[in-house]
Amino acid sequence: VERSKPFIRDGNVIDGKAVAAAVRAEVRADIEARLRNGKFYRNPSLAVVLVGNRTDSATYVRMKDRAASEVGIESNVYRMPESASQDDLMALVRRLNANLTVDGLLIQLPLPDHMDENVCLSAIAVEKDVDGLHPSNVGNLVLRNLPFPGMG
């Protein structure tokens, strides 16, 4: 790997593992610095909601949980059965939105067929929307209004 192009190998192929490691190291250092200088009084906290038993979704959630832990973000997974109602999911989202110790929230997709993903994603507080899928955040991204609340 050339020093001037640390993430490029074999011409135009990006080394994704190297990029991911560099981003994680940068995020971890930023969190540690904010804790040291008093900008953060605790480690950031992520809430991940997983509805159902899809193996692929459970794998993604495990990977997100591991990545959060590596950078100093507290991660909590809230599991709901496939049979949970949309009202049950919305109630959980409202509780997590109101919880001052939850800084970021995401709902792992896809949701079961009996749930409306757009309605559920719209229920996430804009400022806690980690995936940026709340309609306001999608609109701000399209309009290039950056940084928008979900990016903070």
- 2 class by beta-carbon count within 10 Å (0-12 exposed, 13-18 middle, 19+ buried): exposed
pLDDT (0 to 100) of residue 85: 98
| Average pLDDT score over residue span 126-142 | 81
Model confidence at 38, pLDDT cuts 50, 70, 90, reads very high
Residues of the chain with pLDDT > 70: what percent?
88
Per-residue pLDDT band at 134 (split at 50, 70, 90): confident
pLDDT: which is higher, 64 or 6: 64
As a whole number of angstroms, the distance between CA 121 and CA 52 comes to: 16
Query: 89, exposed or middle or buried, with CB in 10 Å at 0-12, 13-18, 19+?
Result: buried
Chain centroid offset of residue 39 CA = 21
pLDDT digits (tens, 9 = 90+) for 9-31: 566 778 888 899 999 999 999 99
- Phi and psi, residue 131, nearest 5°: -80, -15
What value does the mean pLDDT take over residues 69-73? 96
Q: Which of 63, 135, 57, 122 is nearest to 93 (CA)?
A: 122
Reported as a single tens digit per residue, the pLDDT across 99-109 is: 999 999 999 99
Q: How confident is the model over 59-88, as a mean pLDDT?
A: 97
45-65 pLDDT, tens digit each: 999 999 999 999 999 999 999
DSSP one-letter code for 129: B
For helices 55-71 and 16-36, angle between their N-to-C axes, nearest 10 degrees = 50
Whether residue 111 contacts residue 81, with contact meaning beta carbons closer than 8 Å, is answered with no
Average pLDDT taken over every residue of the chain: 88
* pLDDT for the residue numbered 135: 74
